[in-house]
Amino acid sequence: MATLLVAAKAECGVDVGNVVSSCGQFVSKGGPKTPPSPQCCKALNGADVPCACKNLLTPSIQGLIDMNKAVFVGRSCGLSIPAGMKCGSK
């Protein structure tokens, strides 16, 4: 697992552990959409969204997050996420 996370960081420009700790509360299932914190946006800064969608969003991770909230958070942080983009299995 650690090797996968290191590879993801190198390949997709994201520190998965930092994203989870900084952004998890904003993308978890249940509750309303809330704007992300500056720390969350900092953790997402430089993320390669298509790479993350292809390589990081496993079915088990998708079971934990609300994809609509994930898109909202990403866009709120200035990431380019085109409408209709396929991310994970959604």
Q: How confident is the model at residue 2 (pLDDT cuts 50, 70, 90)?
A: very low
What single-letter amino acid sits at 45?
N
Query: pLDDT digit string (tens) for 67-87?
Result: 999 999 999 999 998 888 888
Strand, coil or helix: 28:
strand
- CATH class of the domain at 2-76: mainly alpha
Domain boundary assignment for the chain: 2-76
* Predicted model pTM: 0.82
CA separation for the pair 63, 54 (Å, rounded): 16
Query: pLDDT digit string (tens) for 21-77?
Result: 999 999 999 999 999 999 999 999 989 988 888 887 888 888 889 999 999 999 999
Q: What is the pLDDT of residue 44?
A: 93
